[in-house]
Amino acid sequence: MLRDNRSFFEKLTGSTRMDEEITNEEPQAELARSKGEWLTSDEEGQLTVDVFQTPDEIIIQSTVAGVKPDEMDVSITQDMVTIKGKRQRAHEVTEKDFFYRELYWGTFSRSILLPQEVDADAAIASLKNGLLTVRLPKLDKSRTQKLKVKME
């Protein structure tokens, strides 16, 4: 039986040290992950999100540290939100200088199906301390709007 010498953090996140050699045969995806090659240039990363509700809103939060507001696109329909962007490294680091490589750099996106319809025109997106917050007012389907009939 092989002994797993990874630290608790490495086991929890699935990361490995860059200077370790991989001795056992692993599938290509695991091999690429262990070398810090999370995605090829053709693939997009996927954001992690929290989605919750208040009585009047659905709120989506995601950490997007290192991304400028003008490098993000938030698209909203009545039943879906799509967040796209690109995280760029401030300066280049050579492969041999890395000890750990766990952060994702490149394009990312995430589409979230909403549990109920929202008012896309009244939605607000804000970015503070690397946390994107999208506030989506709920449409109240049970509320009835009465119209006055005008005589022409």
Looking at the structure, tell me whether residues 28 and 66 fall in a common domain: no
How far apart, in whole angstroms, are the C-alpha atoms of residue 64 and residue 127? Answer: 9
Residue 142 lies in a domain: no
Q: Give the mean model confidence (pLDDT) for residues 123-147.
A: 85
Residue 143 lies in a domain: no
Q: In what order do the strands lie in the sheet with 106-113?
A: 45-46, 106-113, 80-87, 72-76
Looking at the structure, tell me whether residues 43 and 117 fall in a common domain: yes
| pLDDT for the residue numbered 46 | 84
How far apart, in whole angstroms, are the C-alpha atoms of residue 79 and residue 81? Answer: 7
- Structural domain of 101: 39-137
60-101: per-residue pLDDT in tens?
A: 999 998 888 888 999 998 789 999 998 887 788 888 888 887
Looking at the structure, tell me whether residues 24 and 97 fall in a common domain: no
The amino acid present at 141, given as its one-letter code, is K
Q: How many domains does the chain have?
A: 2
Looking at the structure, tell me whether residues 100 and 45 fall in a common domain: yes
Residue 152 lies in a domain: no
Looking at the structure, tell me whether residues 105 and 122 fall in a common domain: yes
Q: Give the mean model confidence (pLDDT) for residues 32-61.
A: 76
| pLDDT for the residue numbered 29 | 47
